[in-house]
């Protein structure tokens, strides 16, 4: 019997949901340490990925035909080897739209109301009504401010929807300038610096590709509106960390909310840790109690089509674009 190997825990109900959509397939739900090499090599479909299973999954006698990742990003996978083997690759794009957009707004509202500074004073039992940081501008309320979203996909669309509810002006930047609901102006990537010059808040939700690596560099910070607030909920290496630190020190960027980094975990000697104008979260913006449920829904739709001889309809990765 054909096999589906899932590396992540599922409830009995979720396993049944997948089995109903994939008649003729046996479901094996084990973590990477519990799987033996033969189970990996015999899997036609693998849900999730791990470097430790790649050795067996990509051998010449492997039966692997399709990988459904547990994440939206695929930059850590062996894309060339998967492509050369003709293996289908789908990701979990869309799962993160609600939790990450809410995390983005948690950071934006914290910066606008200086909540991150208040919490630090609270820990010191310090009653201080002036929450400004000397030498840095304070953005105040977000109503009426301009939000620039770089990389308008599922997360960007939901972020734009929330932004309009707060009365913000929204500028989007992506490969296509096709209009989107809740985005007042859409620019292509060629217009990135033009957009940055207008943003009170700049949100990066770009995937990591050869094109986007260090897209936010010294030139980008120079082009940005002075005193803008930057939030990175995309991929760490899309930002040149040293130039961001310089921009924060100079006040060109007034604050940064960072969930992802070039090096993770962020080294303890990195200056970002001790900057008052920085909020750090450990790559958890997409975490939530409905994550598995949403991945299973995506996979169920895909596997139903796959068993009927069709390509997975949702989130099929373009190996050339790397997303």
The residues annotated as belonging to the active site are 235, 264, 283
Which residues, 6 or more positions from 232, have their beta carbon under 8 angstroms from its beta carbon?
Answer: 204, 216, 238, 239, 256, 257, 258, 259, 260
Segments of the chain assigned E as strands: 2-6, 25-29, 43-47, 66-68, 88-90, 146-150, 169-173, 185-187, 201-204, 228-232, 253-258, 278-280
Q: Which of 157, 93, 68 is nearest to 286 (CA)?
A: 93
Which residues, 6 or more positions from 197, have their beta carbon under 8 angstroms from its beta carbon?
Answer: 223, 224, 225
Phi-psi region of 251 (alpha: psi -120 to 50; beta: other; left: phi over 0): left
Beta strands 43-47 and 2-6: pairing type?
parallel
Structure tokens at 205: 């939700």
Beta strands 253-258 and 228-232: pairing type?
parallel
CB 191 within 8 A of CB 213: no
Angle between helices 12-21 and 291-306 (to 10 degrees): 20
């Amino acid at each position: 019997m054909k096999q589906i190997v899932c590396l992540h825990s599922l409830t009995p109900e979720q396993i049944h949901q997948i089995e109903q959509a994939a008649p003729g397939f046996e479901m094996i739900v084990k973590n990477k340490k519990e799987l033996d090499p033969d189970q990996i090599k015999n899997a036609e479909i693998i849900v999730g990925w791990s470097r430790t299973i790649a050795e067996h999954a990509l051998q010449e006698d492997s039966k692997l035909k399709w990988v459904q990742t547990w994440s939206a990003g695929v930059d850590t996978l062996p894309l060339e080897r998967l492509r050369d083997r003709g293996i289908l690759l789908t990701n979990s794009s869309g799962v993160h739209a609600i939790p990450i957009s809410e995390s983005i707004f948690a950071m934006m509202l914290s910066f606008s109301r200086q909540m991150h500074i208040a919490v630090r004073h609270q820990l010191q039992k310090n009653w201080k009504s002036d929450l400004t940081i000397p030498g840095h501008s304070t953005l105040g309320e977000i109503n009426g401010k301009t939000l620039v979203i770089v990389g308008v996909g599922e997360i960007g669309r939901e972020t734009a929807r929330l932004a309009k509810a707060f009365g913000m002006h929204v500028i989007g930047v992506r490969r296509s300038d096709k209009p989107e609901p809740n985005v007042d102006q859409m620019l292509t990537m060629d217009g990135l610096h033009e957009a940055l010059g207008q943003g009170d808040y700049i949100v990066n939700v770009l995937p990591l590709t050869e094109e986007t690596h260090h897209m936010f560099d010294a030139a980008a910070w120079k082009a940005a509106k002075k005193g803008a607030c930057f939030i990175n909920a995309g991929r760490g290496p899309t930002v040149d960390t040293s130039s961001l630190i310089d921009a924060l020190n100079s006040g060109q960027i007034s604050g940064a909310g960072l969930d992802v980094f070039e090096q993770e975990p962020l080294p303890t000697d990195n200056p970002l840790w001790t900057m008052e104008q920085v909020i750090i979260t450990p790559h958890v913006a997409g975490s939530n109690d409905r994550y598995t449920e949403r991945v299973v829904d995506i996979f169920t739709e895909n596997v139903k089509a796959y068993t009927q001889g069709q390509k997975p309809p949702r989130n099929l990765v373009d190996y050339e674009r790397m997303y």
